[in-house]
Amino acid sequence: MIQEYCRLRVSSLLRIAIPVDYVDEVVQLQPQDISPIPGVNSCLLGVTNQRGSLLWVLHLEKFFGIQPSPLARPIMAIALRIAMPDGGIRRIACVVMAIEEIMTLDTKRLFPVPNKLPPRSKSLLSGLAKLDGNTYGIVNVNEMFRLLNPDVANPAVLSSEAIAKLVNVSIA
């Protein structure tokens, strides 16, 4: 299947591609715009107010298990969205080093993810693509949201109780 992906450089060690269907917008933040939340996973930097709604900010290097680099100023992030069964939308801003460009890939031609990757990284990637001499990990956005909400098994089959818990407790 032919699909468009947004190419992103997360760090000097990691390049990823996210299906364009999940990309909401590019966000620039100052560190003081992010309010840390005590007790949450350290890969979540905190929340920011974006047009009157809270938006969680995810440090992708930490999320993928890479030693994080100092954050740039301003912080560049790409906001992702996922539709919920109740018609609601979940959003999260993912910190990146650079946004490259859109690429078109045939998903049947992806390379398998190597077994030597850590289990979390392996579960987050649905395959690898090579383009312009670089290798890109194709991110499984549904799995990313599932890992950030461990009590939610599958966004496509959430009960109303699980949706209520997700809305009140986790990613806004």
Q: Which two tokens stand for residue 117?
A: 């990757």
The set of residues, in sequence order, having a beta carbon less than 8 Å from that of 60 and lying 6+ positions away, is 10, 14, 16, 43, 94, 95, 96
* Overall average pLDDT of the 60-77 stretch: 89
Q: What is the pLDDT of residues 26-58, one digit of tens each?
A: 999 999 999 999 998 889 999 999 988 899 999
**The pLDDT of residue 150:** 65
Domains present along the chain, CATH in parentheses: 2-169 (2.40.50.180)
As a whole number of angstroms, the distance between CA 44 and CA 145 comes to 12
Supply the DSSP string of 7-59, one letter for each residue. EEE-SSS-EEEEEGGGEEEEEEE-GGG-B--TTS-TTEEEEEEETTEEEEEEE
First to last CA, the chain: 31
**The pLDDT of residue 151:** 53
Q: What is the pLDDT of residues 75-134, one digit of tens each?
A: 999 999 998 877 888 999 999 999 999 999 998 899 999 988 877 788 899 999 998 899
**The pLDDT of residue 160:** 42
As a whole number of angstroms, the distance between CA 111 and CA 27 comes to 31
As a whole number of angstroms, the distance between CA 119 and CA 40 comes to 21
Q: What is the pLDDT of residues 14-25, one digit of tens each?
A: 999 999 999 999
As a whole number of angstroms, the distance between CA 84 and CA 128 comes to 27
